[in-house]
Structure 1
Amino acid sequence: MKDVAAEAGVGVMTVSRVVNGDPGVAPGTAARVEIAIRKLGYQRDDVARQLRRADQLSQTIGLMVDHVSDPFMAAIASAAEDVARQHGSVVLIGSTRDDLRREREVVAAFTARRVDGLILAPVAGSHRFLRPVLAQGTKLVCVDRAAPGLDVDTVVVDNFDAVHNAVRHLVAHGHRRIGYLGDKQEIRSVDERYRAYLAALAEAGIDADPAIVRHGLRSGPDAAAAVTGILSAPEPPTAMFASNDIVAIGVLAVLPAHIAFVSFDDFTLAERLTPAVTVIAQDPVAIGTTAAHLLFARLHGDSSPPRTIVMPTELITRGSGEIPGPYAHGR
């Protein structure tokens, strides 16, 4: 900074004011400083600034999702990044791969870099390890799922109600053999979806059949193999439900066109397939935006009690979920 000041013919304090965006610096002076900065390749050292002022925000936040390649999680991350940019902050993004040990490692890496706050899609398991992080002043917002045992802001959807309505929809179209294809049941949101599936069947007087249920599907190929196995059963289902978009894409690769299908999460080209795919749509952009706004409100002094915000979902009927089953009216 001293070199920049000497090059521009100003004091070090003037350079500091220009670097920090102070509008009070005369335009001509600011221009000379900017020219000197470019000539000398000067870049502000944020780590040094934090060491100098421990009470100063680092203007970085950490965001942890299951996997950044998941379109749903990627949309959440992109939305959060847009909000962070409005606040002059950057986002460090990490994937937990739904592994608690990896989650701890990523949290440790982010907090070592003194991020101001965290947005986290919690994996299954205890999150007591985050209590010291919160006690040190790091702000936390959970997204997509709650973290049991932590009293923090959380942004979710009503998974139970959404799936309950979707399964009832399949029943209303004449289906009593409805297969379930799900991600890891240990994930809280996934467990809520499975419990809703069971509740809707019970409400309709249908006994759940473990032979047409699969859990722990983590990829498209996993889901495709599960469908192939289920359809080879003596009494295959006439309808299928997938717990997320990644599972759905694998299902659709092998699912016969006469079997009804509903997916949790919308996905690219779902409306262009034949038949078009009926989905439970949630808005990841709204979820990510809401979570980021909550986090920055906390960083800027909001001390109100933690709250859970439940975002809406919508059952979009496009055709696949309306294929009639053997018990449809008039058949």
Structure 2
Amino acid sequence: MSTSRGARQPTIKEVATLAGVSPMTVSRTLAGGVNVRPDLQARVMAAVRELGYYRNENARSLRPGQPSGLIGVAITNLANPYYGNFALGVEEVAAAHGRRIILGNTGEDAGRERQLVSDFIGRQVDGLILVPTSGDAEHLQPERLGDVPLVLASRRVPGLDVDTVLLDDVGGAYRGTVSLLDAGHTRIGFLGNRSSVFTGERRYRGYEQAMTERGAPIDPSIIARDQQDVEAASRAARAMLDHPEPPTAIFSANNRNTIGALREIGRRIRDGLPGPRPAVVSFDDFELSELMPVPVTVIDHDARLLGREAATLLFARLEGTAEGEPNTVELPVTIEHP
């Protein structure tokens, strides 16, 4: 399929022919599937994916070739204030270029990401900014997006070569772990999200590098890498601190894990439970970090700047000032001691 926005897109009739159903069945399926048997819906959606068909939600309101004025922004966790600041950074740049953003949440679910991108393309967004999940990249390939430029933020996607803005995840995690080692800790736990998540893997790599270089043991029993929200992180921290040999310090790979760990530490302090009050290093700042039950060292960066940089790359593509190979920008982080 051509990569040009002007290239002919598959029609509903072609989807219907491939699926072996009527065009009306296709329309009803795409409108929510009311009165359409599940097996027919499955055939229609398989044909939609195979042909790369997108509903054109703006077809009635836009003249051919007219830009929509919209930038699609997909994030992974709408409940995390970090991503609110990221979206504000994108919006600042978009507004300066006379565009508006539409925001969607994937919840770290690859299927939801595919549907959200499809919806954005169907609304003829002028560009896309995506904090990707750990899923495949088929729906993000140029032949699926037409000439809609895509910028990735915070994470890469294997097999996808596009403009990307990253953080110094490895270096920041390394420096944060070294700060704990320099303070005399050798038994350091790790809390992070799943290893298939790009940032989770990079931040664990920095932790592992620092521990290995200093000859500190890496104990798998005090490493938890599958927490996507505060509640799961709190449970993981509880198990870690109930260990016969609990860690004297914890490295947390993101702010949701940090808050979960601090909730558990605070609970133990309030209940007068025995055991260590571990030092904490958090990758990402978080709400009221200065009021926590134990001092927290923060590996900080500006989420709003991350959004602005991603949007700047996108508009460079839209306006033709960036040509050739995709660009990668890696933003620095700072360490803020309590």
- Aligned residue for 1:307? 327
Map residues 26-45 of structure 1 onto 2, 5 A cutoff: none
| Contact map agreement 1:277 1:317 (CA 8 A) in 2 | yes
Q: State whether residues 134 and 140 of structure 1, in contact with CA within 8 Å, keep that contact through their aligned partners in structure 2.
A: no
- State yes or no: 1:280 paired with 2:299: yes
Instruction: Measure, in 2, the Cα distance between the counterparts of 1:293 and 1:133.
Output: 23
**Per-residue deviation at 1:304?**
3.6
Aligned amino acid, residue 199 of structure 2 = S
Of residues 253, 258, 262, the one that matches 2:281 is: 262
For residue 292 of structure 1, what is the aligned residue in structure 2?
Answer: 311
In 1, Cα distance between equivalents of 2:136 and 2:256: 26
TM-score, structure 2 as length reference = 0.77
Equivalent position of 2:112 in the other structure: 102
Deviations 1:35-90 (A, max 9, x none): xxxxxxxxxx975463x232x32110100000122111111111111211121111
Shift of 1:133: 4.9
Contact 2:58 2:124 in 1 (8 A): no
| Structure having the higher Rg | 1
Please tell me the root mean square deviation across aligned C-alpha atoms, in Å: 1.7
How high is the TM-score relative to the length of structure 1? 0.78
**2:228 aligned to 215, 218, 221, which one?**
218
* Residue of structure 2 aligned with 1:147, choices 153, 157, 182: 157
Query: Is the 1:154–1:291 contact (alpha carbons within 8 Å) kept by the matching residues of 2?
Result: yes
* Secondary structure of residue in 1 paired with 2:264: coil
What residue in structure 1 maps to residue 213 of structure 2? 203
Mapped to 2, the partners of 1:86 and 1:210 lie a distance apart of: 49
Alignment of 1:132-211 (within 5 A): 132-133=142-143, 136-211=146-221
Q: Distance in 2 between matches of 1:117 and 1:90?
A: 11
Deviation at 1:134, TM superposition (A): 6.0
- Partner of residue 84 from structure 2, selected from 74, 77, 92: 74
Distance verdict in 2 for CA 1:133–1:67, change over 3 Å: farther
Instruction: Please tell me the residue identity of whatever aligns with 2:285.
Output: D
Q: Of residues 236, 253, 258 in structure 2, which corresponds to 1:243?
A: 253
> Residues 94-142 of structure 1: CA distance to partner in whole angstroms, max 9, x if unpaired?
1111111111000001001111110001111321221145661000000
SS at match of 2:133: coil
* Bigger mean CA offset, 151-160 vs 275-284: 275-284
> Corresponding residue for 1:59?
69
The one-character-per-residue Cα deviations of 1:235-292 (angstroms, maximum 9, x if unpaired) are 1100001111111111101225731111010112112335442110011011101111
Preserved CA contact (<8 Å) 2:78 2:105: yes
Establish whether residue 233 from structure 1 lines up as the match of residue 253 from structure 2.
no
Which amino acid is 1:128 matched to?
E
2: distance between equivalents of 1:260 and 1:187? 25
| Corresponding residue SS for 2:103 | strand
Question: 8 Å contact 2:277–2:294 — kept in the other structure?
Answer: no
Per-residue CA deviations over 1:283-302 (Å, capped at 9, x if unaligned) read 10111011111111111113
Partner of 1:122: 132
Cα distance in 1 for partners of 2:125, 2:58 equals 12
- Taking only the aligned residue pairs, the percentage that are identical comes to 38
Aligned CA distance change for structure 1 residues 276 and 239 (closer, same or farther; 3 Å): closer
The gaps in structure 2 that reach 5 residues or longer are: 1-56, 270-275
